[in-house]
Chains A and B, each alone.
Chain A
């Protein structure tokens, strides 16, 4: 039997599941925090003064709407119409701030005055440190020791913004372990602390809350594309996926538009079969990570394995439960891009369009070498972040 993808629901249900994925698999110590959030997040987000403050900050502080840019030379090269959603032009240089603005406003309304976060590439850490400075709240960011080394500029930015950066020293010392440490902090500080999760992962209601805050991306694409092309719906929306927050926001308003094809781009690392990869939809199996049931990379015995990608932001062994559902139902096409392919696509964007992309976003750009689009196709790619933080990696890779 084939699933009719047109009739499916891709939003979260009242129990916190996307199909079979999601839920809240958390220790009892976290239950009161997560339950408080679950009971309040939709209510808070629906309040007129919340909406007003959120929209105002996105406009005046983040600089939204972010442009939807027709990439002319890139389009010519690949003989299709490529639009870039310029999340790289947001304040702090990535899409991450859409969510941190939203969550800090929720945290304030819940009376929290201490903020914790995990970060991989450092973009979410910077975005969290930024909004904490904006609101005058204490900020602690957990970051894997390996990531601290490869994302030094972002570590410095967080410190300048007044955050405390705590290295995660366990496991692979990357995003997964930073997330573990943040969760432990929340267990130890259950009353005054809000945990701003940066990706569309974690126990319900996090994947849904993060997705809703990021959904401003596709909300804007709709009217912007209407201006450019006379239609709201592109033929394809494309985004890179680690945990999947920029992807969730890029897809959100198109999930139930069957004429819009969804492409999710994972990091293949050195190759999907190399043993050094982060392509969760291919290598992952259903299980539980960081409080939700989803696809994750693990041993047959259920131990979570260490992923690999040159991009710190995609170096995560799981994927958000919504994306697991999109993969399982076939609603999204999942592609895997290797380190080399991403790096070259990143450099190509520099040369053709004068834009230095984050290595994460370069993965999404690399699909044009692998997949042929029609000349009339309109393909919107989420340019989730800018490449300043990755300069050192680009310098080393290309021996610049």
Chain B
């Protein structure tokens, strides 16, 4: 069974962390992954940096720009994490934009992910229908779970379609926004969380965008299986260095 599915069966709320590979320094990737697991994180999204990250706000964009300046590439990332499964056992997901994967070759990319022990992919600009028609078979051949996003504007029909072709979890974008632009959730968001929870989808939901502290984490996981923290984590390591990531994570009761 895929590590993501196994993790989703655990009787707890899942804390997932996004970080940009190659940031703050090129070779921080492996130690960040190892430290996140040691500090109780349930799942990790490894951000493959892109020059033009349309769905991301200033924090993740700046970290991506820096990572690229540091020399991060798809090949470098694969090289860095090639032995990651010797030391890390939690689910690992690569999150990145489609063009770098397209240039690497989608099949070659998937194959490499399987060899390394990557469990899934999140590709915000790969549309559901293109995935379904052109790439689903390849992803499945290499045992990869593709995670789709839904937003407060996503129609019920589309949510049901996304649920039908997903086999891991659904990434619920907390509000209409790019990453890192929210602080706290209001009634509008909690009613959206509740509305989706009440749909009883076959795939559990994990909420991302706007989770920055234990309060928002608790609010989100009241309705969902887990939550993803990205910008807030990157801000923390930008300001305090990667040595202190345990202080950031201590706050979350998972």
Q: Which residues of A contact B (CB under 8 A)?
A: 23-29, 31-32, 170-171, 176, 180, 183-184, 187-191, 285-291, 298, 300-305
Q: Within 8 Å CB of A25, what residues of B?
A: 98, 125-127, 130
Q: Within 8 Å CB of B57, what residues of A?
A: 184
Contact among A24, A288, A290, A303 for B68, CB-based, below 8 A: A303
| Contact between B61 and A300, CB atoms less than 8 A apart | no
| Contact between B126 and A303, CB atoms less than 8 A apart | no
Categorize the interface residue count of chain B.
35 or more
Q: Within 8 Å CB of A286, what residues of B?
A: 102
Which 3 pairs across A and B sit closest by C-beta, in order of nearness? A302-B103, A302-B100, A28-B149
Question: How far is A29 from B181 in the complex, measured between Cα atoms in Å?
Answer: 14
> Which residue, of A28, A189, A289, has the highest number of chain B Cβ atoms within 10 A?
A28
Contact with A along B56-90 (1 / 0, CB 8 A): 01100100010010000111000000000000000
Question: How far is A288 from B51 in the complex, measured between Cα atoms in Å?
Answer: 12
Contact among B68, B102, B153 for A190, CB-based, below 8 A: B153
Closest B residue to A26 by beta carbon equals B125
Q: Within 8 Å CB of A184, what residues of B?
A: 54-55, 57, 178
Closest chain B CB from A179 CB (angstroms): 9
Q: Which residues of B contact A (CB under 8 A)?
A: 50-52, 54-55, 57-58, 61, 65, 68, 73-75, 97-104, 124-128, 130, 148-151, 153-155, 158, 173, 176-178, 181
Q: Within 8 Å CB of B51, what residues of A?
A: 171, 303-305
Question: How far is A302 from B158 in the complex, measured between Cα atoms in Å?
Answer: 30
| Contact between A176 and B52, CB atoms less than 8 A apart | yes
| Contact between A301 and B54, CB atoms less than 8 A apart | no
Contact among A24, A28, A183, A302 for B148, CB-based, below 8 A: A28
Contact among A170, A171, A183, A188 for B177, CB-based, below 8 A: A188
| Contact between B98 and A288, CB atoms less than 8 A apart | yes
Q: Within 8 Å CB of A180, what residues of B?
A: 52, 54
Q: Within 8 Å CB of A171, what residues of B?
A: 51-52, 65
| Contact between B54 and A31, CB atoms less than 8 A apart | no
> Which residue, of B102, B127, B158, has the highest number of chain A Cβ atoms within 10 A?
B127
Q: List 29 A-B contacts (CB under 8 A).
A: A23-B127, A25-B98, A25-B127, A26-B125, A27-B125, A28-B128, A28-B154, A29-B149, A29-B173, A32-B155, A180-B54, A184-B57, A184-B178, A190-B153, A190-B176, A191-B153, A287-B99, A288-B97, A288-B98, A288-B99, A291-B125, A298-B103, A301-B75, A301-B104, A302-B102, A302-B103, A302-B104, A303-B50, A304-B99
